[in-house]
Amino acid sequence: MNLIALLLGLLVERAATRVLHLRELRWMDPYFDAVFRLIQGAPAGLAYLAAALAVVLPVLPVLGLALAFRDVLNGLLYIAFAAPVLAFSLGPRDLGDEVDEYADAVTRGDEEAVGHLERALTEGETQAEPGRRALAVEEAVLVRANSRIFGVIFWFMVLGPSGAWLFRVTDLMRRRAVFEAGRAQTAGNPERECLVVSQTLFGLVAWIPARLLAIGYAMAGSFEDAVSDWKKYYETCSDKFFHVNDEILACSGRGAIRERFDASSQLQPVHEAMRLVKRTLLIWLTAIAVLTVLGQVG
């Protein structure tokens, strides 16, 4: 049933992307802000426990409905429920559309739009040099593919719609913490504890799909170069736990693309990264379909 719901959910997501801008879920920001105030200054163990509970609570209604619908009408009601939940959990924005918008802005020479889209993709500051900007956006596409697409699909296949929604809520909390940390830094305030807590929780749920995605990048591109760059990163790895996921995706993805572009190329690296993501998605869907037929997944 999960395979059918997955395919329907992806179709709904493709057909209704403009409507699904509502999945940015700004109304959850006050909820996360209240959680951040609660854990600020709390002992580490209590902070992580409170944050984990805050993630689980919004998931419980979805879990309850999924269990209730599981065997109704031979699973048809479950599929009708699971597919929209999956579509709503993907994102919060369509990665391909955002890349197209970025490319259009670069072509038009609209620096304001380019900067806005770059910050949305990289979740960081803009780069002044075109070459560095292209590299930053290329890596961001390879990384965001996990948080926006593949992580959602993985947990959907493992835990159904509640898994997809769990992953999305965890990412939404992380995104809110990153935003608040940026505001605090601009105001000259110290980094808030909620940032590390949120990033760590997201790092946990993103750990397995990130590595499966890195393998997918290798299979969809230059396998030898992807694995080689992945290994080289681990030789000098000193990042925090939750940063490693992003770095191995960037390393393996750029290795899989293999081709290195000159500094004047602002769009080709970004387009190649998006093509790699699409090829990897096809590989994932094929693998899921085969495993489903063999009876290994939902």
CA of 268: how far to CAs of 103, 106, 217, 235, 264, in Å?
Answer: 9, 12, 18, 29, 10
Highest mean pLDDT among 79-93, 137-151, 192-206, 257-271: 137-151
Per residue in 249-282, pLDDT tens?
Answer: 999 999 999 876 655 677 888 999 999 999 999 9
- Both structure tokens of 146: 């996990």
pLDDT of residue 298: 58
pLDDT at 128: 65
Residue 279 burial (CB < 10 Å; 0-12/13-18/19+)?
middle
Q: Grade residue 63 by pLDDT with cuts at 50, 70 and 90.
A: very high
Whether omega before 92 lies within 30 degrees of 0, making that bond cis, reads yes
Identify the band that residue 61 occupies on the pLDDT scale cut at 50, 70 and 90: very high
- Sign, CA dihedral 9-68-32-207, equals negative
Tell whether the model's pLDDT for residue 283 goes beyond 60: yes
Question: Quick one: the chain helix, strand, coil %, rounded to 5?
Answer: 80, 0, 20
Residue of 257, 261, 253, 276 whose CA lies nearest to 131: 261
Structure tokens at 241: 């736990």
What is the predicted pLDDT for the residue at 296? 57
Say if CB 2 and CB 83 are below 8 A apart: no
What pLDDT, in 10s, does the model give residues 88-143?
Answer: 898 778 898 899 999 999 999 888 888 888 988 988 777 767 678 888 999 999 99
Residues of the chain with pLDDT > 70, as a percent, come to 89
DSSP-derived letter for residue 298 is: -
Q: What is the DSSP string of 62-119?
A: HHHHHHHHTTGGGGHHHHHHHHHHHHHHS-SS-HHHHHHHHHHHHHHT-HHHHHHHHH
Residue 6 is predicted with a pLDDT of: 85
Are 107 and 116 in contact, with CB atoms under 8 Å apart? no
Rounded mean pLDDT, 209-229: 94
